[in-house]
Structure 1
Amino acid sequence: MNMRKSEIIVLGIILFSFIVGIYFYPQMPEQMASHWNAQGQMDGYMSKFWGLFLMPLISVALF
């Protein structure tokens, strides 16, 4: 019973992260920073889709 409750909580968190990504999607720039060098300058970019949904998708895969 306890395992089932924790699974529901994890799925709720994942669902919430997708909802937040969908909400902010129109407001985000087409390219988002994804990496910074040792001097703190941006040197890596990804599309806004991957910037917003990469971690939720990884969370689903790990779940």
Structure 2
Amino acid sequence: MQIHIASEDQHKTTFTCPFGTFACTRMPFGLCNAPSTFQCYMTSIFLDLLQDWMEVFMDDFTVYTD
């Protein structure tokens, strides 16, 4: 899953390297709130399965049965 960065905020992720200057269009995990934002998205996507069949921690999923 990739979380889009709003076009008006992409300049905040700008970096320069020998190949040019680039800005992220998707949220990298290095941003201060990126992990919690990603966790919220994962929790909301799998909400109906979380209590009965699965656990989600960041980008790790545990699915279990009886």
Relative to the length of structure 1, the TM-score reads 0.31
Whose radius of gyration is greater, 1 or 2? 2
TM-score by length of 2: 0.29
- Which gives a bigger RCO, structure 1 or 2 (Cα 8 Å, sep 6+)? 1
More helix by share: 1
